[in-house]
């Protein structure tokens, strides 16, 4: 996550996420003012004028893509992160949710792998998706794996869910479980999942606020607007 060698990427699905995205980008730009940022609009319905204005205001690129999270698309939803990484060619890619906040720069050099708040599902080890750091450059991640993620007819593990622990977790959902697909991908690439000492990301439990002597550089989730960004509020009316 060192400055000038990182691309940041976030996905939005609905205009109701815009106020949270606004404060996330505000906090990010306070720490990383010049690094590239990509906001992926997942489905055309959210590609509104407000989103274009918001991304332009924070000097972020807007990628408008079809909605890809349904399991019928295989691993294409996860592959989007690798598309962004390949496009920019940085050592790090940081994917984050709109309800994530950045508090300070984290300049610890990370070996190749996936870093964040570690979570476990059976024998599958991954990181919580509020903030995940891909490190090492895309060349350290298997090209064969990249091709696998793009296959819409993929049977395992995305549609048939032959990974038992993931099958049990997702069998009633038409959507992929992104965190666990990513965990599987890292395992298939022969990379490690690692705990990042400066990321505090959980599914629903609000994190302890950063500031002062707090060790956290990134916290998630923040479900309410907590920061006055100075952005035109008319965007969200």
Share of the chain above pLDDT 90, in %: 48
Q: Considering the entire predicted model, what is its pTM?
A: 0.89
Residue 76 pLDDT:
85
Query: Would you tell me how many other CB atoms lie within 10 Å of the CB of residue 135?
Result: 23
**What domains can be seen in the chain, in order of their start residue?**
6-236 (3.90.550.10)
Residue 237 pLDDT:
44
For the purposes of burial, counting CB atoms within 10 Å of the CB of 24, is it exposed (0-12), middle (13-18) or buried (19 or more)?
buried
Residue 206 pLDDT:
62
For the purposes of burial, counting CB atoms within 10 Å of the CB of 61, is it exposed (0-12), middle (13-18) or buried (19 or more)?
middle
Residue 170 pLDDT:
62
Q: How far apart, in whole angstroms, are the C-alpha atoms of residue 22 and residue 33?
A: 15
Q: Which strands make up the sheet holding 101-102, listed edge to edge?
A: 101-102, 218-220, 199-201
Q: How far apart, in whole angstroms, are the C-alpha atoms of residue 203 and residue 169?
A: 15
Provide the 8-state DSSP code for 154.
-
Segments in the chain below pLDDT 70: 1-3, 144, 148, 150-172, 206-214, 232-237
pLDDT (tens digit per residue) in 66-91: 988 887 777 888 889 999 999 999 99
Beta-bridged to residue 120, according to DSSP, are: 125
């Amino acid at each position: 996550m060192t400055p000038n060698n990182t691309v940041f990427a976030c996905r939005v699905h609905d205009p109701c996420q815009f106020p949270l995205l606004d404060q996330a980008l505000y906090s990010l730009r306070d720490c990383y003012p010049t690094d590239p940022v990509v906001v992926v609009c997942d489905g055309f319905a959210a590609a509104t004028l407000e989103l274009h204005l918001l991304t332009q205001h924070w000097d972020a690129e807007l990628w408008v893509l079809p909605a890809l999270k349904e399991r019928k698309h295989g691993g294409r939803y996860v592959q989007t992160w690798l598309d962004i990484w390949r496009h920019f060619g940085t050592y790090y890619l940081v994917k984050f949710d709109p309800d994530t906040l950045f508090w300070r720069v984290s300049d610890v050099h990370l070996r190749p792998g996936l870093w964040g708040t570690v979570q476990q599902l059976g024998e599958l080890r991954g990181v919580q998706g509020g903030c995940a750091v891909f490190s090492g450059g895309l060349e350290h991640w298997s090209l064969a794996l990249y091709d696998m993620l793009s296959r819409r007819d993929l049977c395992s593990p995305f549609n048939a869910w032959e990974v038992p622990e993931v099958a049990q977790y997702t069998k009633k959902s038409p959507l992929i479980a992104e965190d666990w697909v990513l965990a599987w991908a890292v395992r298939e690439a022969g990379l490690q999942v690692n705990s990042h000492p400066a990321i505090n990301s959980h599914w629903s439990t609000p994190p302890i606020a950063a500031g002062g002597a707090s060790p956290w550089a990134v916290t998630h989730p923040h479900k309410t607007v907590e920061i006055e960004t100075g952005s035109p509020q008319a965007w969200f009316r």
